[in-house]
Amino acid sequence: MKPLLCLLVALLLNCKTQSANNLGPERTEPAFIYANSLATDGCEEFVRLDHGNPSADARYKPTANSLPILQKAMASTPAGVSPYERSVTIRFAETGKQVPLQCGWGSRPEVGEIEIIAIRDR
């Protein structure tokens, strides 16, 4: 029993969790959020900051923990030009990681990862 307990404690001590200390400073910015459109050769859910130039705006993937915040905002925010896009103001913190964003045709661009704190209509 004691070896099992020691093993469990060792595993728990080695687990790496995302904490608020690992996140960058909180930011609030205008953005567009996008629903999962993989079925139409789009991308999975992501955030694009709105700096006025769509081709230069940065895309971010939400963490697994904050993805439900984006999904809830998609359901409650009126659609814009596209049924997959919503215009919002987002409060978030960057995790400092680059992660793959799954898109249609097997594309997986590397994008920054963010922890979403809050989303509201714009």
d(CA 50, CA 115): 17
Quick check: helix, strand or coil at residue 83? coil
d(CA 105, CA 102): 9
Strand partners, 60: 47, 112
Strand partners, 111: 99
Structural domain harbouring 93: 25-121
First to last CA, the chain: 57
Among 44-48, 58-62, 105-109, whose mean pLDDT is lowest?
A: 105-109
Give the pLDDT mean for 56-77.
94
Query: pLDDT tens across 26-52, in order?
Result: 999 999 999 999 988 899 999 999 988
**Residues 91, 57: contact at Cβ < 8 Å?**
no
- Mean pLDDT in the chain? 86
Residue 17 within a domain: no
Residue 114 within a domain: yes
Residue 18 within a domain: no
The structural domain count of the chain equals: 1
